[in-house]
Amino acid sequence: NFELSRKNKEISPSLTLAITAKAKKMKADGIDVVSFGAGEPDFNTPEHIRAAAIDTMAKGLTGYTAASGLPNLKMAICDKLKNDNNLDYSSENIVVSNGAKHSLFNALQAICNPGDEVIISVPYWVSYPELVKLADAKPVFVETSEEEGFKYTKESLLRVINKNTKAIILNSPNNPTGTVYTENELKEIAEIAVKHNIFIISDEIYEKLIYDGKHKSIASLGDDIKKLTIVINGMSKAYAMTGWRIGYLAADKEIISIINNIQSHATSNPNTIAQYASIAALKGDQKPIYKMIEAFVERRNYMVEKINSIDGLSCRMPEGAFYVMVNISKIIGKTFNGFTINSSMDFAEYLLENVNVAVIPGIAFGADNYIRLSYATSLENIQEGLKRIEKAIQ
């Protein structure tokens, strides 16, 4: 007779994984499924990065590194933060981890105490609330509206900030909405954070995937906000390196010192070979990123135009990442082919079972009037998938 961890029993399984697993199984059974579920670029890791990994192994550089990451990789990250984001950090401000998700986990573990509140905008990336709960803190949700670009506003933040507020999670470009904050909007958030002494966890993992506007790191807006910001980034999305599991964070030294200790006991260093490959990614030819961007722009433009031409569906033009949040509020309550749609989950199931199209129900992101479509899939797939969706709701 034993009791398992009460805290960890409360952690939800990933809904996005559930539906993509079902789609994968259908595919394996020979069914022609079109999937809009992808959360990773449909490109291979560039050749020179893969070659660097092979070279690392050939040289026998296969042992442990410092738990917080290779000094040379930290230097390459500092150069990147300086050149791309105008941020001055030294190696003592950096921890390299097993993906940006792990960096987020470490960041929350380092700053949260029981009773602390962490603000998350809705729709949110599925892992944020669970990562906050794992750090014994409480997620506080701020609803955003499509009309306001799915963004925090000054008012919406001030409404929930109180003495327990420890941090705001900011994700620009955003998953699932594709929203990119402007510099002025970031300034407003920074002012609030500085005034109320609140940390910003700035998840910039999609920074390179911006098609309108320009990425700005909130940490670069001044010394006060830089001290309060934990910048999260990684290799997964920019370099099509999702499976390599390298992410990093930059923060004040006091925070870094706690994270170093956590990581030294929890995982030790992230994979050594992937770390060497990441140096090649950051220092090498950046052209593959531009090729990827070109493809994403074309697909995004097609997808948005097509969705807005389908009766019952609509979406805003996302500025970045590779997702479109499709508004399905006109579909909710309707019946198609004897199947009544009462929720985003119903709609996702209907599409999968009726026309073999996999989408992510918005409820996974706390937004039941939406589904998320990823355009990290070929233009042909997008055309075919949208044709099927159109047919399904005629």
The residue ranges that bind ligand PLP (CB under 6 A) are 39, 99-101, 125, 171, 175, 203, 205, 234, 236, 242, 247
DSSP string, 327-340: E-TTTTT-EETTEE
Between 121 and 171, whose beta carbon lies closer to ligand PLP?
A: 171
- In angstroms, how far is CA 55 from the centroid of its own chain? 30
Instruction: Provide the token pair at 325.
Output: 């949040």
Q: How far is the CB of 393 from ligand PLP (least distance, A)?
A: 28
Q: How far is the CB of 386 from ligand PLP (least distance, A)?
A: 23
Q: How far is the CB of 321 from ligand PLP (least distance, A)?
A: 8
Between 175 and 220, whose beta carbon lies closer to ligand PLP?
A: 175
Between 87 and 205, whose beta carbon lies closer to ligand PLP?
A: 205
Q: Strand locations in 92-203, DSSP E?
A: 94-97, 117-122, 138-143, 165-171, 199-203
Between 100 and 359, whose beta carbon lies closer to ligand PLP?
A: 100
Q: Please give the Cα distance from 169 to 190 (Å, whole number).
A: 12
Instruction: Provide the token pair at 289.
Output: 């990123």
- In angstroms, how far is CA 309 from the centroid of its own chain? 28
Q: Please give the Cα distance from 329 to 96 (Å, whole number).
A: 42
How far CA 301 is from CA of 254, 307, 319, 392, in Å, comes to 44, 10, 10, 22
Between 56 and 172, whose beta carbon lies closer to ligand PLP?
A: 172
Between 130 and 384, whose beta carbon lies closer to ligand PLP?
A: 130
Between 204 and 346, whose beta carbon lies closer to ligand PLP?
A: 204
Q: How far is the CB of 233 from ligand PLP (least distance, A)?
A: 8
Q: Is the dihedral of CA 325, 331, 333, 336 positive or negative?
A: negative
Q: How far is the CB of 263 from ligand PLP (least distance, A)?
A: 14
Packed helices 71-85 and 272-283: angle between N→C axes, nearest 10 degrees: 30
Between 171 and 377, whose beta carbon lies closer to ligand PLP?
A: 171
Three-class SS state of 166: strand
Pick the closest to residue 185 from 165, 161, 155 (CA basis). 155
199 has which bridge partners?
167
Between 100 and 119, whose beta carbon lies closer to ligand PLP?
A: 100
Residue with tokens 């409360």: 10
Q: Please give the Cα distance from 101 to 134 (Å, whole number).
A: 13
295 touches 381 (CB < 8 A): no
Q: Please give the Cα distance from 277 to 54 (Å, whole number).
A: 9
219 touches 231 (CB < 8 A): yes
Q: How far is the CB of 236 from ligand PLP (least distance, A)?
A: 3
